[in-house]
Structure 1
Amino acid sequence: MQASSRSVRLMGTVIETKIWHENPEPILDQVENLLILYKDRFSANDLTSELMEVNLNAGVQAVPVAEDLYELIKLGKEHSLADKSFLNITIGPLVQTWRIGFSDAKLPSQEEIDEKLAIIDPADIELDDEDMLVYLEKEGMAIDLGALAKGYVADRIVEFLERMGVTAGLINLGGNVKTFGQAPHNPDGNWLIGIQDPGKERGKNILVLQIIQESVVTSGIYERSLTVEGKTYHHILSPQTGYPIASELASISIVSKRSVEGEIWTTRLFGQAMAEIYRTVCQTEGIEAVLIGLDGKVFVTPGLVDRVVAGKQHLSDGLASPSRGGFGARVASDVASGASAL
């Protein structure tokens, strides 16, 4: 059975769906339609999206939304309010002020930043579970699901493909890869996922992981940036300061069963000290991590040590974890980003 794939540019990236099936084209047509539906529902940059309807009614009235959008907002609020979380789904006004990654990106004034910080409190999202109503209490508030939506969509697309009888495949949403089934092109059935080297051009991986029916989500400061008067600002903003997060990390990759969990944890943790991130991942069931520091050092959590298939000879003791023992990886390999399927 031959592999078939479909690529479409949506959600600010190229989304590739690859499946093994005897009659793939009608299924891929439906996947493309689903992706467009989710874009129309979740986008914070489309004036006609369902999410934008919520944002435009901030401080005015509650808005009824579709079940999946309500579920995603509720999930985002929960993790935005978690202790030490750098995830904040109400960060939309701040993101739109900086516009990093868009042609009109700019360095905001301190006054503009302070103004936006006053309206990015996730506690000001009111949710009505019975009628699936969402209300933003303050005028000017705006939800941005960019830190969650791709993972949620990846999970939903895989669920659809499995219902359609597809036994193996993957979806790649640019830095977010989710696989299912056994990899038909590899004798052992494992999927090989490359982790982008933050210091090199796109497609140059610093290591390669072996996974089965899992997701790999990567977030890094190298993805989008703005340079003003010789100073470079990356796109990952702190909901505490309003400026790009000061971090020891160049990137973090989370391996998990559900892709949305990977999205949540890459954002929740980015901004914490690297040793603290390592300990948190080691103490959290269902996730593993690859941490790449600004100094080029790479650490993997214990559950991934035996799943590094490129550069494993460089493994050495790393950041200590009180619960599962210290073991990190310093790897350097030019095996031929985010995460990408090989």
Structure 2
Amino acid sequence: MQEAVRQVRLMGTIITLTIYHTNSEALLVEAEARLRDYEQRFSAHAADSDLMRVNQQAGLQAVPVAADMFELIRIGKKMSLASDGALNIAIGPLMKLWHIGFEDAQVPSQAEIEQALQLIDPRRIQLDGASQTVYLEVAGMELDLGAVAKGYFADLLKSFFVEQGVEAGIINLGGNVLTIGNSPKNPLGTWNIGIQNPEAPRGDLLALAQVRDQSVVTSGIYERKLVVDGQEYHHIFDSRTGYPVANEIASVTIVSDKSIDGELWTTVLFVHSPERALALIEATPGIEALIITKDLQQYPSTGMRDILHYFS
């Protein structure tokens, strides 16, 4: 079977899909169509997206949504509550206020931040499984699924590829990588996934994670920044304070079977100290992590040590 590759710019990043299959080109066309559909429906920025329909009806009425969106919101709400807000899918008003990564990014006033904090309580997301509806109880609430969506999309794509008989491939959604089977190019069968040095230019790798049929998700404070009067503000927010997370962590890499778990845990761990974050992972079966601090100290979980290859 020949390797087939498709690259497209979507979701604010470069997406690369690589699969091995006799009908690979047709599968990649369908995969791209699905990604474009996900981008349109799940967008927190497009006024006509399905997610924005939910946000626009906040405080007014419940909105029926498709099964995949209902499931992702359900997962996101569950983790938002379990993590005590370390991950928060109701954070939309705060994200829109700062808008880091966009041309109109700003440092809001404290009064504006306090106002936004009143609108980001995930307990006020009402889900009705019978009618498959979502209702935001307070006008001005907004869901933002950016912290979980790419992992969810990657898992959906992998399921599609596997159902079609793809036995090997790699889904790269820009910092979110999900592998299928063994790598045909490596005698050992592992896929070598680069881990960015958070204090170096893009593409300068610190290590490789060697995985089979698993996901590697990295999130770092270097990805999007706003600089005002010499002060840097990154895009990973603490929903308790309304400001970007302020601690020692520069990046978190998660290795897991499902990509959505990687997305969830990279966000959850960021609000903790490196030691606390590592302890949480050690107590969680099936999840491995590499936590890197701003001064490049590394905190690998026990299982992560076995799959890391460092550059000398």
TM-score category, normalised to shorter length: over 0.9
The 1-side partners of 2:142 and 2:85 are apart by 19
1:305 paired with 2:312, answer no
Equivalent residue, structure 2, for 1:339:
none
Equivalent residue, structure 1, for 2:279:
279
The 2-side partners of 1:35 and 1:271 are apart by 30
Structure 1 residue 188: deviation in Å? 1.1
Q: Is the CA contact (8 Å cut-off) linking 2:247 and 2:272 kept in structure 1?
A: yes
Equivalent residue, structure 1, for 2:111:
111
1:105 counterpart SS class? coil
1:53 paired with 2:53, answer yes
Q: Give the alignment of 1:252-263 within 5 angstroms.
A: 252-263=252-263
Which runs of no fewer than 5 residues in structure 2 stay unpaired? none
The 1-side partners of 2:185 and 2:83 are apart by 43
RMSD over aligned Cα, in angstroms? 0.9
Q: Deviations over 1:127-185 (max 9, x none)?
A: 10101110000000000000000000000000000111111101101110000111001
Q: Is the CA contact (8 Å cut-off) linking 2:86 and 2:238 kept in structure 1?
A: yes
Q: Is the CA contact (8 Å cut-off) linking 1:85 and 1:269 kept in structure 2?
A: no
The 2-side partners of 1:121 and 1:238 are apart by 13
Q: Is the CA contact (8 Å cut-off) linking 2:72 and 2:152 kept in structure 1?
A: yes
Q: Is the CA contact (8 Å cut-off) linking 2:83 and 2:268 kept in structure 1?
A: no
1:39 paired with 2:39, answer yes
What letter corresponds to residue 300 of structure 1 in structure 2? Answer: P
Structure 1 residue 83: deviation in Å? 4.1
Structure 1 residue 2: deviation in Å? 2.4
The 1-side partners of 2:149 and 2:90 are apart by 14
Q: Is the CA contact (8 Å cut-off) linking 2:92 and 2:141 kept in structure 1?
A: yes
Equivalent residue, structure 2, for 1:130:
130
The 2-side partners of 1:127 and 1:84 are apart by 19
Structure 1 residue 191: deviation in Å? 0.6
The 1-side partners of 2:308 and 2:113 are apart by 42
Structure 1 residue 84: deviation in Å? 4.1
Q: Deviations over 1:8-33 (max 9, x none)?
A: 11111111110011221111100011
1:154 paired with 2:147, answer no
Structure 1 residue 47: deviation in Å? 1.0
Equivalent residue, structure 1, for 2:25:
25
Q: Give the alignment of 1:235-246 within 5 angstroms.
A: 235-246=235-246
Equivalent residue, structure 2, for 1:139:
139
Structure 1 residue 38: deviation in Å? 0.9
The 2-side partners of 1:213 and 1:69 are apart by 25
1:81 counterpart SS class? helix
Number of residue pairs matched?
312
Equivalent residue, structure 1, for 2:226:
226
Q: Deviations over 1:15-63 (max 9, x none)?
A: 1110011221111100011101111221101111110100010011000
1:182 counterpart SS class? coil
Q: Is the CA contact (8 Å cut-off) linking 2:85 and 2:239 kept in structure 1?
A: no
Structure 1 residue 85: deviation in Å? 4.3
Identical pairs, percent: 51
2:218 counterpart SS class? strand
TM-score by length of 2: 0.98
Structure 1 residue 309: deviation in Å? 2.1
1:2 paired with 2:2, answer yes
What letter corresponds to residue 138 of structure 2 in structure 1? Answer: K
The 2-side partners of 1:49 and 1:286 are apart by 34
Which runs of no fewer than 5 residues in structure 1 stay unpaired? 312-332, 334-342
What letter corresponds to residue 21 of structure 1 in structure 2? Answer: H
2:94 counterpart SS class? helix
Q: Is the CA contact (8 Å cut-off) linking 2:209 and 2:308 kept in structure 1?
A: yes
1:169 paired with 2:149, answer no
The 2-side partners of 1:154 and 1:70 are apart by 17
Structure 1 residue 193: deviation in Å? 0.7
What letter corresponds to residue 143 of structure 1 in structure 2? Answer: L
1:249 paired with 2:249, answer yes
TM-score by length of 1: 0.90
Q: Which runs of 4+ in 1 moved over 2 A?
A: none
